[in-house]
Amino acid sequence: MGKIAIATLDDARPVDPPPGFDGEAETAALLDQDKDPLHVHLHTLGCGVVLQIGPLEVDCVGYVWEGGIDAGGRRLAATSSFVVERGAVLAASGADGGATVVTFMAARPPAQPRSGGRVHLLPAERVPRAELTGSQGAAGGMHADASCPTCHVWLHENSLAPAEDEPADAASEKGVHSHSEDEVIFVTDGQMRLGQRLYGRGSAIAIPAETLYSFGVGPEGLKFVNFRAGRPSEIRFKTGGTIDEVAYWRDRVGSPEYLPPAS
């Protein structure tokens, strides 16, 4: 069991943009140290500024947090996503008004990487989304479910309404659980409550595999995306129950149907 790491926008550290940038751009690291198994970067693109992703030794998932981009001959608005598999390349440019793109990837290649070489594009309107039973005002969406034959990655989204009876310290035992894979939660809107603190937009919470934790919802609600570099298995609750995470999402939301680059 490892230690949870948290980085907020105030902690974001400017770093050199990756090779392939064309135009004025800014890249900041939320998580990118050697001790971090998963890396998270924020890329701010002005209109027409080009971000090239790849070729890399690992699969990379991008999430359009704000604004919109043109990538692979397609327009990807906010809440769209893309996957650039190991060895592949994608050039994305900021659309009118620019964009902020969050990229997620493993720090190191897996022991048995898949073949890679492909790019998947998922416009916002094609993301499978549904209400989730068990929590009032909860909804979810699936961007990458690790079922692709050529890449490993997982990215889902959650939207949670404020809970009137939320305990101040989010210490309820019923929600304490762990996952089989290292994960990063990125707060896209609202606030996540961890202990007695609220973490707002742009916060990244890195949780090692098999680490028990729980979280609460802030007064403005909570929206986040959750990244894993590999296929998850069971969610294990402190109270003793388990859930097959892949089956849970497949049964309620379904799998994404990607578009290939048009050009």
Q: Is 61:127 a contact under the CB 8 Å cutoff?
A: no
**Residue 117 predicted with pLDDT over 90:** yes
The mean pLDDT value for 61-85 works out to 98
Pairwise CA distance, residues 210 & 215, whole Å = 16
**Residue 114 predicted with pLDDT over 60:** yes
- In sequence order, what DSSP letters do the residues of 192-223 get, joined into one string? EEETTEEE-TT-EEEE-TT--B--EEEEEEEE
pLDDT at 25: 78
Pairwise CA distance, residues 219 & 165, whole Å = 11
How does pLDDT run across 33-42, given as a tens digit for each residue?
A: 999 999 999 9
**Residue 166 predicted with pLDDT over 70:** no
pLDDT at 175: 82
- Strands across the sheet with 234-237, in order? 177-178, 234-237, 242-244
How does pLDDT run across 198-227, given as a tens digit for each residue?
A: 999 999 999 999 999 999 999 999 999 999
Pairwise CA distance, residues 31 & 15, whole Å = 11
**Residue 24 predicted with pLDDT over 90:** no
C-alpha distance from residue 129 to each of 105, 126, 140, 184, 252 (Å):
23, 9, 6, 20, 9
**Residue 28 predicted with pLDDT over 90:** yes
Task: Give just the sign of the alpha carbon dihedral 173, 179, 182, 183.
Answer: negative
**Residue 170 predicted with pLDDT over 50:** no
pLDDT at 45: 93
Full set of structural domains in the chain with CATH: 12-125 (2.60.120.10), 129-252 (2.60.120.10)
Task: Give just the sign of the alpha carbon dihedral 91, 67, 206, 139.
Answer: negative
Mean of the per-residue pLDDT values of the chain: 92
Percent of the chain residues topping a pLDDT of 90: 82
Helix (H) or strand (E) holding 246: helix 245-252
Residue 13 phi, psi (nearest 5) = -110, 120
Question: The pTM is what?
Answer: 0.95
**Residue 174 predicted with pLDDT over 80:** no
**Residue 182 predicted with pLDDT over 70:** yes
Confidence band of 17 (pLDDT split at 50, 70, 90) = confident
C-alpha distance from residue 93 to each of 25, 45, 259 (Å):
11, 7, 18
The mean pLDDT value for 24-51 works out to 93
Question: Which residue in this structure is represented by tokens 């809440």?
Answer: 79
Residue 247 phi, psi (nearest 5) = -65, -40
Percent of the chain residues topping a pLDDT of 70: 93
